[in-house]
Amino acid sequence: MTSTGESSLRRRAVEGEKSLKTNDLASQTAEESKFKQTGSSSTKRNSCIVLAVLTVLAFATRFYKIHEPNEVVFDEVHFGKFGSYYLRREYFFDVHPPLAKLLIAAMGWFVGFDGHFLFEEIGNSYQTENVPYIPLRSLLAVFGSLLVPVVYETLRECGFSIVACTVCACLVIFDNTLVTQSRLILLDSILILFMALAIYSYVRFYKLRNRSFSGEWWFWLLATGVNIALTTSVKMVGLFVVGLIGICVLMDLWRLLDVRRGLTLGQVGKHFMARALSLIVVPVIIYLSFFYIHFAILTKSGTGDAFMSNSFQATLEGNDMHANSMDVRYFDNITLLHKGTKVYLHSHPLRYPLRYDDGRISSQGQQVTGYPHKEDPNNHWTIRPGRELFEEDYEDEMPKVKNGDIIQLVHIGTGSILLTHDVASPLMPTNTEFTTIPIDDTSRFNETLFRISIEDGVSDDATLKTKSSGVKFIHLDTGVALWTHGEALPDWASGQQEVNGNKNPKDNTNIWTIDEIIGKDTTDETFVPRPVQHLNFFVKFWELQKKMIAQNSQLVATHPFQSQPISWPFVIRGISFWTRGSDRSQIYFLPNPFGWVFGYLALTAFIGVLFADQLALRRNFHLIDPILRKRLHNVGGYLLLGWALHYFPFFLMGRSLFLHHYLPAIVLNYMVVGVLFQFIFIKGIEYPISLPAKGDLVPVYRPRAGWVAYLAALLIIGAQVGLFVFFAPLTYGHVGLDVDQVLARKWLDSWDFHFAK
């Protein structure tokens, strides 16, 4: 390159930077936007025609034979069932926020579904039970189809050519996983559409940065906040788009703070408050509103009761744990049920062995265990006060057991008192052993005392009740809590569950309930059923949020079709959604191999372009026109950041993960492909515009696609469509393949198709 050429490039760079110093995300000034609006009507017409065709193709691929199969498929077991629970108004628990499930239920209500079908198992027939499954699936298909025009228009708003936007849209249309996910009663098509709308809204908002506080500016800012809320209200992973928009907003505010922008601190403060209101306050209100609707609908006792606290359950109609609860009084004979593992506190004459397998020595005391069978007299205990109190002192009724009381538990069958002491438990040397001593042994009195700690007991006046009170038994001498953890003892304890002392008394797994009072029941004429209670919305909301987060982190059980994030872009593993042996049909959740692998390679190439450009700039080589660099870095960087935020956090998660978790990221990956395609294949023509304020000439680029671009687009789209059609029998599941046809599609041994032999 000659020195004259270098000087020209540098001069051009300086002039471009000077005239475009207010250009950011889409490299467009307000004047440029005005120019585009008054531009070629033929370009607009062509874009509308292309968009219409693409939208029709999206609807066609999602709605094609949507009635097949007419059986429950994969996670329709869960999300169809949740829709039924809404229609029955029965409380259920799910780790995801309620919006998508509310929409499914609303469609069911609209078409007259009463929730009688509970989607119990994969393969259950819809037609036999007269379930309107087609409208339910159609709702999700509409969301999946609308993703295509949103993706197309996002890139168009960023100034990209029709052909580049078409390439991106076709990759989305003919992606087998996106089609599969969109035509079943699943949540991801709703999640991805709202995510795309949030990204689109922010692009529209950011293009109006030179028209701050105008009506249109406020509209798109608020639209961004609304779409953020909708995304997060479908699944917790919607927080990833919150992170994306949040980072962009912080960068924007940082630029506005620059004194060269000419804004006072008061003006910057107004910008901050506008964004805080629209992107924090409004989304939080919307998010809360969906939970308010959730609680307002689910007023009856249901399958989700057991996940919630007793005070929460007391708000549900027909909840047995509250409506049929009775006050516990001293000297009542009771059974204790562990809330987490559903075993009864149990003891029997068998003793701990002298030595355990690891050589540790036990107390050889009487065994205390957890036993799952209710009808066993060895589950019976008498609750008595830890002070002098005799039945004959009370002519009528014994006093009630209250929160904070000090008590003893006497095992009725063996006439012994429960205690724990400084001896290691059989299976957990860090925890204390529980045993019993004879009732007349007063030498170890302090070791038999436990303090009652009632869950949600707000004062000492809180009374212990059967079924409805969650209670912890805190040992007065050592501070440990009565606890069991689900692991079975060896044969010397008949394989019953270990009970020991948990040194963390605040652990919520320490909770037990008084299951029944022996000899008393609700047929007693003195029993009065308790009315449904009221609980503050925010108390219920916060409890549910904590339960959702905790339960989500506990989804660690292995699954035959789970996979690791590192394998997702390379299509290493799919998921078997459904099979039907009668005609050898199956739905296998498999990506379009071309789209996913090509998308990942393009993304890697894009990162390489950014790195090479920055490296060249360090040596004062301007390989890319400054205006195009702005567009490449800001738009491409925006989408690349979105991809990273929707992918890399999964590497930090300990829960079981599946291929469908990558779907939001692959949509953003496809958009990066559009950016790279534009950079490589599309040329531009300069249109100088006179800025009225300064009289400067600003080069505005209108992209023009040559034959090379059309050929490249044709090859990319052709490859995507070809493989989509090839794997379509596994996507739609309505065509049974013979063994040879299945094997022809099994490119990797890890693709565990059915009927392959």
What pLDDT is stored for residue 472 in this prediction? 94
Is 205 strand, coil or helix? helix
Closest Cα to residue 590, out of 671, 658, 650? 658
User: Residues 113, 137: contact at Cβ < 8 Å?
Assistant: no
Q: Which helix (H) or strand (E) holds 167?
A: helix 162-173
Is 629 strand, coil or helix? helix
pLDDT digits (tens, 9 = 90+) for 659-672: 999 999 999 999 99
- Burial category of 615 from C-beta neighbours within 10 Å (exposed 0-12, middle 13-18, buried 19 and up): exposed
Is the bond leading into 283 cis (omega within 30 degrees of zero)?
no
Which segments in the chain show pLDDT lower than 70?
1-40, 321-323, 388-396, 456-460, 522-530, 683-704
CA 620 from centre of chain: 46
Q: Which helix (H) or strand (E) holds 516?
A: strand 512-517
All structural domains of the chain, each given as residue ranges with its CATH number in brackets, are 67-131+300-324 (no CATH), 136-185+555-756 (no CATH), 193-297 (no CATH), 327-519 (2.80.10.50)
CA 205 from centre of chain: 27
- 726 forms beta bridges with none
Q: How many CB atoms lie within 10 A of CB 421?
A: 18
b/e per residue 179-195 (b: at least 16 CB within 10 A):
bbbbbbbbbbbbbbbbb
What pLDDT is stored for residue 159 in this prediction? 87
**Residue 634, phi then psi, degrees to nearest 5:** -75, -50
User: Residues 663, 188: contact at Cβ < 8 Å?
Assistant: yes
DSSP for 10-68? HHHHHHHHHHTTT--TT---HHHHHHHHTS-HHHHHHHHHHHHHHHHHHHHHHHTTTT-
User: Residues 474, 453: contact at Cβ < 8 Å?
Assistant: yes
**178 to 105, 410, 595, 625: CA distances (angstroms):** 22, 61, 11, 36
Which residues, other chains included, contact 53 with Cβ-Cβ below 8 Å and sequence gap of 6+?
Answer: none
Q: Which helix (H) or strand (E) holds 268?
A: helix 265-276
| CA diameter of the chain | 112
Q: CA-CA distance, 532 to 311, in Å (whole number)?
A: 10
pLDDT digits (tens, 9 = 90+) for 519-577: 887 555 455 566 788 899 999 999 999 999 988 887 877 888 999 999 999 999 999 99
Query: What global pTM score does this model have?
Result: 0.82
DSSP state of 280: I
Q: CA-CA distance, 404 to 333, in Å (whole number)?
A: 20
Q: CA-CA distance, 299 to 301, in Å (whole number)?
A: 7
> Which amino acid is residue 348, in one-letter code?
H
Q: How many CB atoms lie within 10 A of CB 470?
A: 22
**Residue 354, phi then psi, degrees to nearest 5:** -60, -45
DSSP for 71-107? B--TTHHHHHHHHHHHHHTB----SS-SHHHHHHHHH
Q: CA-CA distance, 16 to 535, in Å (whole number)?
A: 62
For residue 69, the number of C-alpha atoms closer than 13 Å in the C-beta half-sphere is: 28
**426 to 174, 378, 497: CA distances (angstroms):** 59, 21, 11
DSSP state of 356: -
